[in-house]
Amino acid sequence: MAIERRKYTEAFKREAVRLMESSGKPIAEVARDLGINDNNLYRWRALYGSQPQSVTGGSMVEMEAELKRLRRENEVLRQERDILKKAMSIVSRSQP
């Protein structure tokens, strides 16, 4: 007994990927809504998605620079948070 494979048009695949990327829902939920296997969506995203799965050399450098910038910003924000915590503890102790 042979299992018949369902075939999907390219338009359907592209629309499914667009829906997956724009809905904000988990991939499994989108797949369930469309009545397809979620593995299909992962494969189709690699083919038709707006965000390519592979990273080229140029964009890797940009990503590393962005990561470095974000780490610096994160450190500054942690320092500001710590200063505010100390200030709040001082203010709360000095009030009767």
Tokens read off for 83: 């200063």
pLDDT in tens, 45-82: 888 887 554 545 557 888 888 999 999 999 999 999 99
pLDDT number for residue 61: 84
Q: Which residue has the higher pLDDT, 76 or 94?
A: 76
Closest by Cα among 55, 60, 22, 21 to 41 = 21
Total of domains in the chain: 2
Together in a domain, 39 and 66: no
Q: Show the domain range for 91.
A: 55-96
Please provide the average confidence, as pLDDT, over all residues in the chain.
85
Together in a domain, 35 and 79: no
Give the CATH number of the domain where residue 39 resides.
1.10.10
| Tally of CB atoms within 10 A around 7 | 6
Using CA atoms, how far apart are residues 22 and 96, in angstroms rounded to an integer?
Answer: 53
Together in a domain, 39 and 73: no
Using CA atoms, how far apart are residues 10 and 17, in angstroms rounded to an integer?
Answer: 11
